[in-house]
Amino acid sequence: MANLGMLLDYEWCTGCHSCEIACQMEHGFPVGKTGISVHTIGPWEIEPDSWQLDNIAIPTKQCNACVDRLAKGKLAACEHHCQAKCLHIGDMDELADSLKEKPRQALYHLT
């Protein structure tokens, strides 16, 4: 399989934790351990009517990109359940092209 990446459009990540809990349930992780973790930056006021408030999901060392699910033609558990549909796992080269198309995204190189 090609190199796998995870593209997160953090303009749209609402911080709902679905990726995190889906990952934990899929892989049987105990409470407190996870393959992906959601973090919130803010809120703080930058200037009137402009606020810093972003959520960002970060894969951990325990993320295996759900390769078993991908092999069966399914989406990774996190991507499948992402409520804002802002997280995608796929081929690094293709995701790198998508990354260039829009600001406020982050690309992780998984495998």
Partner 1 sequence: MGESKYLFVEHERPFKYEEDGLNVTRGSAWSGPGCHLGCGVLLYTDAEGKLVKVEGDPENPYNQGRLCPRCLALPEVTNHEDRLKYPMKRAKEDRGQNKWTRITWDEAFDTIERELKDIKQKYGPETVLFMQGTGRDIAPYITRLCWSYGSPNFSLFLSGAACYVPRVIGLAGTFGAFLVPDCSQVHPDRYDNPEYVIPEVIFVWGNNCVVSNSDGFFGHWVVDLMQRGSKIVVIDPRVTWLSSRAALHLRVRPGTDAALALGMLNVIISEELYDYDFVDKWCYGFDELAQRVKEYPVEKVAEITWIPEEKIVAAARMLATSKPAALQWGVAVDMTKEAIPAGQSISTLFAITGNIEVPGGMIVPPEILKYVGGWGKDLLPDDAYTKRIGQDRYPLFASEAQPDCIVEQLETSEPYKIRAAWIQTSNFLACMAADPQRLFNAMKDLDFIAYVDIFMTPTAMALADIVLPAATYPERNGIRLGDGAQRGETINKVTSIGECKSDMEINLELGRRLNPEAWPWDTVEEMFTFLLQDDTGMTFEELQEQAPAYPPFQYRRHEKGLLRKDGQLGFNTATGRIELWSTFYSNVGLDPLPYFEEPTPGPGSTPELLEEYPLVLTTGARNWSMFHSEHRQIKRMRALHPDPIVEVNPKTLEKFGIADGGYVWVENQYGRAKRKVRATEAVDERMCSTDHAWWLPEGDPDKLYSVFDLNINNLVQWSPGKSGFGSNYKTALCRIYPVNESE
10 Å CB burial of residue 57 (0-12, 13-18, 19+) is buried
C-alpha–C-alpha distance, residues 62 and 27, integer Å? 9
Taking a C-beta distance cutoff of 8 angstroms, is the pair 58, 37 a contact? yes
Residue 17 as a binder of partner 1 (CB under 8 A): the answer is yes
Q: Which stretch binds partner 1 (CB under 8 A): 26-34, 57-65, 90-98?
A: 26-34
Residue 102 CB, shortest distance to partner 1, in Å, is 11
Residue 56 as a binder of partner 1 (CB under 8 A): the answer is no
Residue 21 as a binder of partner 1 (CB under 8 A): the answer is yes
Who contacts 1 (Cβ-Cβ below 8 Å, separation ≥6)?
67, 70, 111
Residue 39 as a binder of partner 1 (CB under 8 A): the answer is no
| Binding-site ranges for partner 1 (CB under 8 A) | 11-12, 14-18, 20-22, 24-26, 31-32, 42-45, 49, 51-53, 55, 75, 77, 80-85
